[in-house]
Structure 1
Amino acid sequence: MTVTVLTHAVLYTGSECINEGYIRFDDKILAVGPMSDYRPQAGDQIKNLRGQIVIPGFIDVHAHGGYGFDAMDGDADQIDKMATNMLEHEGVTTLFATTMTQSVDNIDKAMRGVAAAADRNHVIQGVHLEGPFIAVDFKGAQPEQFIHTPDAKLVEQWDKLSGGRVKLITYAPEKPGSREFEDALINLGIVPSVGHSNATRADLLNSKASHVTHLYNAQREFKHREPGVTGHAMLEPQMYAELIADGFHIVPDMLKLAFRVKGADRIELVTDSMRSKGMPEGESELGGQKVFVKDKQARLADGTLAGSVLMYKDAFKNAINFMGASVADAVKMSSVNQAREFGLEHKGALEVGKDADINVMSPELDLQASYSYGQYHETQA
């Protein structure tokens, strides 16, 4: 395989910044360090980046769709194209294809489609089951008629159909049977995430949820007499929290608050994107419901936010502009934390032996190109 060397770059490895550095890779990272350590080797394809910024590829653990496609369609060809578009337009080098509350048959179909797509497109590294074990009170854009009580047997069925790829489940821990359900998830190696939930702080102190789905959104909010889901996530320092940093789901001041409380080590940027991301504004669809996209917002007919049309490259920049995060902080929130939490041992950092999943950005933090397993992809407009 071709060996590529990116030289004279500003490298954010996930643990340090190298101001004048190089990175050498084929499908894996072979060497990384300051230019003073670089020794050219025969056959190297050298690209002088002249001060451009190099960071680990983005890891999105919560994305339903985009570019006209959706994981719930269960079509392997379309899911494959969806993941490729996320790579080429946004720099997402690792994706958890995300489902939603739907019928058992439809989720079965989605799992089969994701499994077939993931067999040939290794950007797809997992599945996030968002529902159907959620609370009616905070269903958001999830269709109420398909909400289900916690059922570990169904999870086992879906995990098997996906090829063992289910990594994360969003559920409401206040529902009956949740303690046994959580134990079953953990035994399967699946992270339990509180979301679309009306749980109280007391409920959650008895729960094994270690992750919160889209912090602030579709959950019992924090108040002065009841911390709710949001307050619990803020109070528990080891809990990972997703943030949709589009400025609409969460206003910038509240993004800044979450960053100050949680810190860069426990926040994970997600898009929660749906089918109409990357498409013209107008009417779209989510779980059989009409969605209307206008001014970079996707809403149901009643005005409920219905996922997002956020591109991950914009979430990265927004973390810096809205939260006051540094580039190093944003790298943690877009790659390092996800790899750590989900045991993605070959992802999330620019280190020898890791997969060559790399994003190249301008000094202004505009995405220029991505490498997925060392294969070059010029960023599409």
Structure 2
Amino acid sequence: MLFHNAQVMAPTGRLPKGWLLVDGTRIAAMGAGDPPEFSDHESIDAQGLTLLPGFVDIHVHGGGGAEAMDATPDALRTMARLYAQHGVTAFTATTWTDSDARITAALEVILEVQGRQPDGATLLGAYLEGPYLNPIRCGAQSTVHIRTAPRDEATAYLDMGVIRLVALAPEFEENGWLIEECVRRGITVSAAHTAATYDQMVAAVARGLTHATHSYNAMTGLHHREPGTLGAVMALPEIRAELIADNIHVHPASMRILYKAKGPDGLVLITDAMRGAGMPEGEYPIDERTVIVKDGAVRLPDGTLAGSILSLDRALHNLMQATGESLDVLWPTSSLNAARQIHVADRKSSLEVGKDADLVLVDADVNVRLTVAEGTVVHRAEI
């Protein structure tokens, strides 16, 4: 597969008229100007559109009427197909707070299905969001099952070998051992649904925490005498910060403030999307409860936000609008930074020879025209 007449977003900068050759599942060659002659390939005229690394959504629960907690292969494949339509070439399926049995069932199916999907984004593993959270910052997480981390239970999850990121409340000493154990195993740890003080966050970073789950949301806010969780996220360079850039969870001005604090290498765009993403407005189940999708938001009946219906292409577009920055600057927030956090950047999320051919072709407004996951076209619109 040969892309030509493309604006290729290489790590060293945009190639204003570039080309890229895919051979099998990998990027075989790339360069500026007109391509050399290659045989036995499909030629794609990009018509001046921008070729980016495929988006990576590491925090996403569902979409298309399905969720990871459904614990079925069909649910995960439905999600993978929907995400590919929005430029996502890889994702980690995200669990939420529930019983041990339900979390285990979801992880077992993610383990079974993970890898290349024939018609969607690649499933890279699991993101364990909860159940080891703080009930006073629960958001839409079920307080019935929130708990501190029992060694037997949490170790069993880790032993499955499918978890790439664990989100927990670091202020509880009972969760401290889990931070250290995850770091020992090469699993990223995130502060999530937390009332941690600034000092407690500093201590968690010393233990190895390097990530923040949906920054601003479900965490202690910034105060000038107690910087809180958010202050630590902004101030500590060890932490990369997730952002739900749907203009609902976080005001555009607050996005801009977080961007000023973290820079293009410190932000990780996520969707936190749930079952109703890509679906009509209406009511949808979440564990034993119901959420309402209306006016672009997902809420519990009491008005609490409960995930989103955001797509990653729109998140990147919204971040560009909020910050005034270009794709040239912000593209890592939709791919490379996430890949770094789950330790796959050696093979994914930048356009370099030898890396996986995960590609998305977009216009100036980040509308997706073509998605390629590990060398396979998984979504095509008119170019």
TM class by shorter chain equals over 0.9
Which one of 52, 57, 60 corresponds to residue 55 of structure 1?
A: 52
Counterpart of 2:238 in structure 1 is 238
- Taking structure 2 as the reference length, the TM-score comes to 0.94
The correspondence of residues 4-153 of structure 1 with structure 2, limited to 5 A, is 4-26=1-23, 27-36=25-34, 38-87=35-84, 89-119=85-115, 121=117, 123-153=122-152
Instruction: Structure 1 unaligned segments of length 5 or more: list them.
Output: none
Instruction: Structure 2 unaligned segments of length 5 or more: list them.
Output: none
The correspondence of residues 339-354 of structure 1 with structure 2, limited to 5 A, is 339-344=339-344, 345-354=346-355
User: Counterpart of 2:144 in 1: which secondary structure?
Assistant: helix
User: Counterpart of 1:205 in 2: which secondary structure?
Assistant: helix
> Residues 8-55 of structure 1: CA distance to partner in whole angstroms, max 9, x if unpaired?
10011244111000000021000111025x211121221121211100
TM-aligned CA deviation for residue 108 of structure 1: 0.7
TM-aligned CA deviation for residue 288 of structure 1: 2.2
Identity score, percent: 33
Could you tell me whether the CA contact under 8 Å between 1:80 and 1:118 is conserved in 2?
no
Could you tell me whether the CA contact under 8 Å between 1:151 and 1:181 is conserved in 2?
no
TM-aligned CA deviation for residue 366 of structure 1: 1.2
Structure 2 CA distance for aligned equivalents of residues 48 and 119 of structure 1: 29
Counterpart of 2:322 in structure 1 is 322
User: What is the aligned residue count?
Assistant: 374
Could you tell me whether the CA contact under 8 Å between 2:282 and 2:292 is conserved in 1?
yes
TM-aligned CA deviation for residue 261 of structure 1: 1.1
User: Counterpart of 1:90 in 2: which secondary structure?
Assistant: coil
The correspondence of residues 354-365 of structure 1 with structure 2, limited to 5 A, is 354-365=355-366
Structure 2 CA distance for aligned equivalents of residues 232 and 303 of structure 1: 28
Point out the more displaced range, 324-333 or 267-276: 324-333
Could you tell me whether the CA contact under 8 Å between 2:115 and 2:124 is conserved in 1?
no
Could you tell me whether the CA contact under 8 Å between 2:314 and 2:366 is conserved in 1?
no
TM-aligned CA deviation for residue 60 of structure 1: 0.5
Counterpart of 1:298 in structure 2 is 298
AA in 2 matched with 1:112: E
Point out the more displaced range, 6-15 or 255-264: 6-15
User: Counterpart of 2:237 in 1: which secondary structure?
Assistant: coil
Structure 2 CA distance for aligned equivalents of residues 380 and 100 of structure 1: 33
> Residues 173-222 of structure 1: CA distance to partner in whole angstroms, max 9, x if unpaired?
11122332211111121111001000001111111321000000001111
Structure 2 CA distance for aligned equivalents of residues 300 and 13 of structure 1: 42
AA in 2 matched with 1:175: F
Matched, 1:288 2:288: yes
User: Counterpart of 1:32 in 2: which secondary structure?
Assistant: strand
TM-aligned CA deviation for residue 120 of structure 1: 5.7
> Residues 248-280 of structure 1: CA distance to partner in whole angstroms, max 9, x if unpaired?
000100001101111001100000000000000
Could you tell me whether the CA contact under 8 Å between 2:197 and 2:228 is conserved in 1?
yes
Structure 1 CA distance for aligned equivalents of residues 340 and 29 of structure 2: 21
The correspondence of residues 162-201 of structure 1 with structure 2, limited to 5 A, is 164-201=161-198
User: Counterpart of 1:237 in 2: which secondary structure?
Assistant: coil
Could you tell me whether the CA contact under 8 Å between 2:63 and 2:78 is conserved in 1?
no
Counterpart of 2:379 in structure 1 is 378
Structure 2 CA distance for aligned equivalents of residues 11 and 187 of structure 1: 37
AA in 1 matched with 2:42: Q
Q: CA RMSD in A?
A: 1.5
Point out the more displaced range, 297-306 or 121-130: 121-130
Aligned CA distance change for structure 1 residues 141 and 15 (closer, same or farther; 3 Å): farther
Could you tell me whether the CA contact under 8 Å between 1:14 and 1:328 is conserved in 2?
no
Runs of 4+ in 1 over 4 A off after TM superposition: none
- Taking structure 1 as the reference length, the TM-score comes to 0.95
User: Counterpart of 1:144 in 2: which secondary structure?
Assistant: coil
Structure 1 CA distance for aligned equivalents of residues 58 and 116 of structure 2: 19
Structure 1 CA distance for aligned equivalents of residues 373 and 326 of structure 2: 24
TM-aligned CA deviation for residue 322 of structure 1: 1.5
User: Counterpart of 1:146 in 2: which secondary structure?
Assistant: coil
Structure 2 CA distance for aligned equivalents of residues 153 and 354 of structure 1: 38
User: Counterpart of 1:7 in 2: which secondary structure?
Assistant: strand
Could you tell me whether the CA contact under 8 Å between 2:115 and 2:122 is conserved in 1?
no
TM-aligned CA deviation for residue 329 of structure 1: 2.4
